[in-house]
Structure formats: structure tokens, C-alpha cells
Amino acid sequence: MLIAGLTWNYKNALGSGNQYPDQGLTDFGKECVSAFESHGIVVDVSHLNEKGFWELDEIATKPYIATHSNARAMCDHLRNLTDKQFSAIAERGGVVGLNLHQDFVRTEGYAYTFDELAAHVDHWIEIGGEDVIALGSDRDGADVPTWVADCSSQTYLFDRFADRFGEEIARKLFFENAMRFFSAIG
């Protein structure tokens, strides 16, 4: 299974990232979405800006995902998804991976708490996303607290989510939702 992100934070030949919120997909980017879908490549919207997101949503014929994005309602950052964007991904059968990067969990300061991270999951569950949420991470070069800094924290993190939401939701977050998505399209 291949996944293609159309942008990073800046402009490229396909479109614009969150640093350029008023510019969306290019014509070439729209052609690439069609080509990706025809070749079974899943489109990732995590770095795409909101304008580009809605342009993609208009032309997409298959589910797309956000591999590492958080809830803008919990942290007002252009890189995070609005509730409407989250719902659009859910309606298409996609998944949204929780991002561990500091700036996308809370708006100020460092070393967010587990409760601040879990608030994003809480919010998504409240808006009907129990079967959409996944663990996305973004540990590679991102600023994260030491308690989630590497893969050795996975068991601790799973246990914390299971304590807060129950084991069924923790299993969905950590692997079942993503596994279901990739099995269905694979």
C-alpha cells in the first residue's frame, strides 16, 4: 500500500501547504490525485492547507486519510483539522492519525500532558470519530515530550489510553481502525 502526501508546509508543484492558506491545489496536483487513485495510492491530506483539502474533497473518488493531524477545536493551528474536515474524511471511510508534535497538541509552551493529548481523541469521539481515529505519531524530528519520544513508549501510551477510554477504543486508536482501512482498500 502506497500513501502520497501532496504537500509539506510550503508550496510545490502539486499545491500549497498550511503556510499558504489562500492557495490550494494546482492543476497538476489535481491530475496527480486522479492518477494516484487510479494506481491505488492513498492521498494523505495532513500537510495540505484547508483550501487544497476542499479542492481534493471535490475531486476525490476514493477515501483519503490524514496520517498525522490533530483537532483544530483543541489546538487552533492551521495544520490541524477542523471538525468539518474530520467529518469529511470519516464520511469517505478514511482515518485520521493523532499527531504527537508539540505545536499541534497545545498552543503554548512545551511538554504537553497526556490529558492534553487525549483531549483531541475525546473531541473526535464526541463528534462520532471512534472508528476514524488512529495513532499517527510524527516522532521523526518533531518536538515531542520525553514520555512519547520514541517507540518504547507505545506500551505506556496504550495503557494510558485504555485507562481513559477503555481497551476497545485504545485498540481502535492503536491499530484496528488503520488495519480495517488498509485491509479494505488493499
Neighbours of 46 (CB within 10 A): 26
pTM for the complete prediction? 0.95
- What was the pLDDT predicted at 121? 97
In this prediction, residue 108 has a pLDDT band, given cuts at 50, 70 and 90, of: confident
CB atoms within 10 A of CB 109: 7
Q: Among the listed ranges 26-30, 33-37, 139-143, 150-154, which one has the minimum average pLDDT value?
A: 139-143
140-175 tens-digit pLDDT = 778 888 888 888 889 999 999 999 999 999 999 999
